[in-house]
Structures are given as C-alpha cells and as structure tokens.
Amino acid sequence: DIAMYVAKTSGKGRYEVFQGSHHASQLETERLRADLHHALDGDQLELYYQPIVRLTTGDVVGFEALLRWNHPGRGLVPPADFIPLAEESGLIVPIGRWVTREATRQAARWQRRGGPALRMSVNVSAQQFQHPGFVWDVTEALERSGLDPHLLTLEITESVLVDDAQRVAGKLRRLKELGVRLALDDFGTGYSSLSYLRRFPIDVLKIDKSFVDDLAVSPEDRAVVGAIIQLGRTLDLQVVAEGVEDDAQVRALASLSCPLGQGYRFGRPRPASEAMAGGTVAGGAVAGETVAGGTLT
Ligand code: C2E
Ligand code: MG
Ligand code: MG
Ligand code: MG
C-alpha cells in the first residue's frame, strides 16, 4: 500500500505522485466532488437519450434520459462515478431538478414535431425523491415544458420504497395525481419487491439487465424473467427488459411475450440531436423501423 502511485491529473499532461493507490483514489474522489459543484453552473451536464422499443414491431415508444457529465479535464464521466457523490453532497436535488426540466422540455419538443406520442423516462434517486420539494419540482417542469404528464415516467428503485411507507405512499399518490407514470427500475435486484407492488401505485417494471444477460442460455434466468412478465400481465403493469444486447436475447424475450425492451441492440444512449436524427433504429424483431413509428398502449 505504500507503493508509489502515479496519477494523471486534469488531463493537462501533468503527473502527480501519491503514496498508495488508496490515497490516490480518495484524492480523485475529492477532486471530482469539488468539480461537481461547478458542473451545473458550468453547463457541463448533458442528457443522453436511449430508445425503448416494442419488441414485436421494433417501434420506438419512448426514451430514457441518462445523465452525462462533460468534465472539462476528464471528458465524459459516467453517472456511476458521480451520482453517488451528488447524493452524498445533496447536489442531486438541483441536478435532478435540472434533469427533469431538460428531459420534459426535450420530450415536449419531440411531441410538438407531430407523429405518435413518445414517452420520456427520468431517473429519480432516493435522496431526490425524499426531498420535500420533489413533487413541486416535477409539477413545475411539467408546467414549464407543457408536456402531457402521461408521457412522463419517473423511474425509482426499490431503495426509495423502504423508507417510511406512509410518507412514500403519500408522495407517490401526489405524483400519480399529476398524471405521471411510475416505474420500478432495476426490478428484481432489491428486496420485498412483491409486497411493494401491492402497496404502491407502480405502472412499469424494468427487468434488471442482470436477468437479461444470460437469458438465452440460462433456464433459471428464463424462468425468473418469464415470471416477472407474467406478473406484469396479471397486475396490468408494463414490462421493459433492460440491457438487451443481441438477437438471441430478443428471441428469448419474444418467446416470453415481453412487450418492451431497451438496450444497445436497439440503440445506445445518444445526445438529443442524434437520438432522433435519421429517424431509424436497428430495431426489434423487425429491423429498420422509423423512430416516429411508435404507438402507445
Ligand atoms: P439505469 O436507470 O438502470 O439505466 C440503464 C443503464 O444501463 C444506463 O447506464 C445505460 O446506458 C445502460 N445500458 C442500456 N442498455 C445497455 C446495454 O445493452 N448494455 C449495457 N452494458 N448497458 C446498457 P448509465 O447511463 O451509465 O446510467 C447508470 C445509472 O445511473 C442508471 O441506471 C441510473 O441508475 C443512474 N442515472 C443515470 N442518469 C440519471 C439521472 O439523471 N438521475 C439519477 N438520479 N440517476 C441517473
Ligand atoms: Mg433507469
Ligand atoms: Mg435499470
Ligand atoms: Mg440503476
């Protein structure tokens, strides 16, 4: 641990020597945390958009907004590296507010272009959800953008629901009164998921990528995914398979009658201009459908 460690700093070609890699990574984290304060003011945040497609037709039915940080020295920083820092520091509240405004504005822009309605999904972290101003922030974003509230889906994880059930239920109800839809993200990776489905007004289940990865080769994963899809059908929930990367997974999902999918197979997250540019995705059971060809149910 006392080995000398060399780290490149700020992409300026300077090198600094630290003692021990643990110390170095802590320093890196501290720098990132400090820099994050300027990310919003400095116009360094950007939303990428990834299509969600109907598996039977390949039609795009909507997009998920995924946050990117264009760090001046480091280039693109993935959310896994800075969302936890934003949560610890409370910065996730203003950042999340910006994400909601930006995503609803973009969705409204796409809506005004005409064509079939496209949904927009926005990720909400637990800290953001627990903030007293959260429902107001969503209300304001909807009003400012003019987006039809039914086209906005808020993605929460089960970690949101483990809090004081009464308070959580109250907040979810207020959100439902706005008209927005609620999705459980990374479904299957948390705990007590089934009781949550009874207790809370959830509209969409997003099957975690870890169940989709080996879907084509693992009978166990097939059984789990099949059960979630069946559950969705019974409880009248939409089901989206996350992280779909290849045709074998698409075929396996189709054989299980999974309605919706999302993943590199259909399109990577891209800046707004590119997400819609050209209007095609290499999509679905049917390839080459146009982005504007989606239909909602
Ligand atoms: P998530 O909400 O589950 O988003 C899906 C993640 O899987 C995204 O990673 C997406 O780029 C990635 N992905 C999609 N299809 C594939 C695929 O076929 N293969 C692989 N390997 N990956 C795929 P990303 O963009 O790095 O985001 C990671 C997580 O960060 C998100 O997971 C979400 O929990 C969080 N996040 C992203 N944007 C926001 C945001 O605006 N606010 C909050 N609070 N969290 C966010
Ligand atoms: Mg998500
Ligand atoms: Mg997910
Ligand atoms: Mg996630």
| CA 241–ligand 3 middle distance (angstroms) | 9
For the entire predicted model, the pTM comes to 0.89
Distance CA 15, CA 5 (A): 10
**Which residues, judged by CB distance below 6 Å to any ligand atom, belong to the binding site of ligand 1?**
50, 66-67, 78-80, 83, 96, 99, 123-125, 128, 155, 185-186, 242-245, 262-264, 269
Closest ligand to the CA of 52: 1
Average pLDDT over residues 97-104: 98
Q: Where are the beta strands (DSSP E) in the chain?
A: 4-9, 14-19, 45-54, 60-71, 75-77, 119-123, 152-156, 181-187, 204-207, 238-241, 260-262, 270-271
* 278: pLDDT strictly greater than 70: no
38 pLDDT above the threshold of 50: yes
Nearest ligand atom owner, CA of 206: 3
CA–centroid distance, residue 4 to ligand 3 (Å): 38
ipTM value: 0.98
Nearest atom (ligand 1) to Cα of 208: 3
Residue 37 phi, psi dihedral angles, 5° rounding: -60, -25
Residue whose token pair is 């409370």: 90
Q: Tell me the C-alpha to C-alpha distance, in Å, between residue 92 and each of 46, 88, 223.
A: 14, 8, 37
Asked if 277 and 51 count as a contact pair (C-beta separation under 8 A), the reply is no
Closest ligand (CA of 66): 1
Q: For 248-274, what is the mean pLDDT?
A: 97
DSSP state for residue 115 in the 8-state scheme:
S
Q: Report the mean per-residue pLDDT for the chain.
A: 87
pLDDT of 262: 98
pLDDT at 85: 95
- For ligand 1, atom 2, which residue shows the shortest CA distance? 123
What per-residue confidence (pLDDT) applies to 22?
A: 65
